Structure 1
Amino acid sequence: MYMPDDKRYEKMVYNRCGKSGLKLPAVSLGFWQNFGHNGNFANMENMVHTAFDAGINHFDLANNYGNPYNGSAEENFGRILDRGMREFRDELCISTKAGYEMWAGPYGDRNGSRKYLTASLDQSLKRMGLDYVDIFYHHVYDPETPLEETALALDNAVRQGKALYVGISNYGTEKTKEMQEIFRELKTPFIVNQPSYSMLNRWIEDDKLDDYAAENGIGLAVFSPLYQGFLTDRYLKGIPEDSRIGKGATWIGDQLDEKMLTKLNKLNDIAAKRGQKLSQMALSWVLHNKAVTTVLIGASRPEQIKDNVACVNKLDLSDEEIAEIEKVLAE
């Protein structure tokens, strides 16, 4: 029987999500990779237990996680809950998303319709064995569905008691602002946007999404903060065969050229001077942005989770370190 670490909450930093009453751990665990049908269940369970023992109480899923079998990540998480974690449900923040292709026909393809979102959330709850999720996101902006319809579907999930809060993902500033205006009128608890963001992917700064979020009480839950593994020590000396790039499991592999390798090694040198691994400094850098509530990490083994969580022990970055990092990133 799994018994969590009694001191788990002493190991983590918790940040308020925007202006809501909800606090999220600075580091959260995402289920995008390695929790699907083809994964090792014992390893999945070990990773979830390791995360919870480290103070990670936020687990982020989506209806389509678990490729090639959409939904299998949620099914596996439901099994993990059944095997000793479900008694801690009130300590957990569980989020899921819907928006990408999920099932056959016009009601299950990529969209933001009321029909799709309502059916998808019901399916997700069934797969995980839950009465409600804490956060339900629209996963990606759909230009073919009116924003009002998508917003009303999310609002309805809250009113039905199937979600406590709602969020959006992969939305830029313009559409985020439009959605917030609708949610304010509906009085929907809209608290979070989930964009990609890292040292190597700073589009939210160019788009001013981080500024808008900070000014308007929206938290940012950032995915791919390690740029799909680039910002770890995995690639400092080349491409291992068992890595995501080595397996051809990422679409950014061609970016790992000599210029990128030089940049990564220089960043690693800065991290070493700080007494951190490159991955830990990269997470600290993302969390240094005051608009960011939490970073969503992925993992293939428990040790990676332990390494990444250690970033909370050294979150401060001096002006000199920021300048040194910026210089390397600009090269």
Structure 2
Amino acid sequence: MFCGQGVGEPRPSQQLAVIEQALDQGVNYFDLIVPPDRLQEASHLHSSALSALHEQRENIILSAQVGFHPLGRIAGFGSRKSITSALDGILRTTGLEYLDVLYLNRYDRSTPMRESVKAMTTAVDRGKTLYLGLSDYAPASALRMAKALSETGNPAIACQAPLSLLNPWAQDALMSIMDDQGISLIAETSLPKHLLSYVESTCQDGSVCEAVQLSSRRREAMKELESIAVRRGQSLVGLALSWVLRDWRVASSVVPISSLALLQESLGSMSHLKFTADELSAIDYCREQIDTLFDA
């Protein structure tokens, strides 16, 4: 299981505690999130929070993304200059000599694909990453990029994509393509509590009547999902992760962990991967009642 570690929340000391506990319980794959607009702050944060990872460097796998970022440029993020600069910034900020997996986030239509491919493979050739991956690619562009990387002798080994209980975006087309190409699917799993918090905040903010009604429908469906989780001896968070990881095509899941309690809930999902037909049917019904415009 991935343990996503980013810059900002939680505090460095708390983040270090989460990392140490995760390592003690066998988590060995960490996805590092280093926002390009906060590299200065990240340098201080990672110097303390990632100390445990540095000590275990030979026994763990570390990955990070370059490419599109909401606060970055909207065009040219797949260029050689952008990819190279972003990767150098990550390595400099984290103090790492190399990454195990470097993901290219999203297809940049403003940059020739061959340029992006060249920049990524150059990172491998220069020892800055061992393997390559894709992130948030639509099925058609994912297939083209996967084939282009494979032709260079540096194939993508994994593809990150949104897949959660309430946002099954990666199901069907993308999962089939990745399976055909021999590429592992890594689910970017947001947790149901995020949606529940959103629903409650919109109601408190005095949303328009239609939105309030929609939120009420979401809330009822979320409560039913929570009831299903309780009957299975799980929390809502645990149920959501078990539902994602039950699919044999999902190699792992990226889970943003902000506390020790959330870490334990997440790890507990690994022992509840079997669902009955009735449970899956009930979960599907609840999902149909929830508007998936907003990710879970």
Q: 1:265 aligned to 2:238?
A: no
Q: 1:31 aligned to 2:2?
A: no
2:185 to 220, 225, 246: 220
Q: Could you tell me the TM-score, scaled by structure 1's length?
A: 0.77
Cα pair 1:225 1:295 within 8 Å, conserved: no
Q: 1:119 aligned to 2:85?
A: yes
What's the offset of the Cα at 1:288?
A: 1.6
Measured in 1, the distance between the counterparts of 2:56 and 2:155 equals: 24
Measured in 1, the distance between the counterparts of 2:44 and 2:158 equals: 25
Amino acid in the other structure paired with 1:44? Q
What's the offset of the Cα at 1:204?
A: 1.7
Partner SS, residue 204 of structure 1: coil
What's the offset of the Cα at 1:190?
A: 1.1
1:95 to 59, 63, 70: 63
Structure 1: gaps (5+ residues): 1-26, 248-252
What's the offset of the Cα at 1:133?
A: 0.2
2:240 to 272, 278, 282: 282
Provide, for residues 78-105 of structure 1, a one-character-per-residue CA deviation record: whole Å limited to 9, x for no partner.
43333x442210111111111135999x
Distance 1:156 1:28, change over 3 A: same
Provide, for residues 95-130 of structure 1, a one-character-per-residue CA deviation record: whole Å limited to 9, x for no partner.
1111135999x8x97610111111211121111111
Partner SS, residue 164 of structure 2: coil
State percent identity of aligned pairs: 27
Measured in 2, the distance between the counterparts of 1:170 and 1:219 equals: 14
Provide, for residues 288-329 of structure 1, a one-character-per-residue CA deviation record: whole Å limited to 9, x for no partner.
222211111113221111111110111111222212211222
Partner SS, residue 192 of structure 1: strand
Measured in 1, the distance between the counterparts of 2:186 and 2:115 equals: 24
Cα pair 2:98 2:127 within 8 Å, conserved: yes
Measured in 2, the distance between the counterparts of 1:222 and 1:255 equals: 30
Cα pair 1:173 1:212 within 8 Å, conserved: yes
Aligned to 1:18: none
Amino acid in the other structure paired with 1:239? E
Distance 1:102 1:272, change over 3 A: closer
Partner SS, residue 30 of structure 1: strand
Provide, for residues 269-306 of structure 1, a one-character-per-residue CA deviation record: whole Å limited to 9, x for no partner.
11111111111011010112222111111132211111
Measured in 1, the distance between the counterparts of 2:42 and 2:213 equals: 29
2:171 to 190, 197, 205: 205
Q: Could you tell me the TM-score, scaled by structure 2's length?
A: 0.85
Aligned to 1:239: 200
What's the offset of the Cα at 1:228?
A: 6.5
Provide, for residues 178-215 of structure 1, a one-character-per-residue CA deviation record: whole Å limited to 9, x for no partner.
01111121010411111111121122225x10111122
Report matched runs for 1:1-331 at 5 Å. 27-32=1-6, 35-36=7-8, 39-64=10-35, 69-70=38-39, 72-73=41-42, 76-82=45-51, 84-101=52-69, 111-205=77-171, 208-226=173-191, 229-230=194-195, 235=197, 239=200, 257-331=215-289
Q: CA RMSD in A?
A: 2.9
Aligned to 2:294: none
Cα pair 1:283 1:311 within 8 Å, conserved: yes
Measured in 1, the distance between the counterparts of 2:63 and 2:40 equals: 14
Partner SS, residue 170 of structure 2: helix
Amino acid in the other structure paired with 2:46? F
Measured in 1, the distance between the counterparts of 2:43 and 2:192 equals: 24
What's the offset of the Cα at 1:149?
A: 1.0
Structure 2: gaps (5+ residues): 206-210, 290-296
Cα pair 1:98 1:139 within 8 Å, conserved: yes
Amino acid in the other structure paired with 2:249? A
Partner SS, residue 195 of structure 1: strand
Partner SS, residue 168 of structure 1: strand
What's the offset of the Cα at 1:63?
A: 3.7
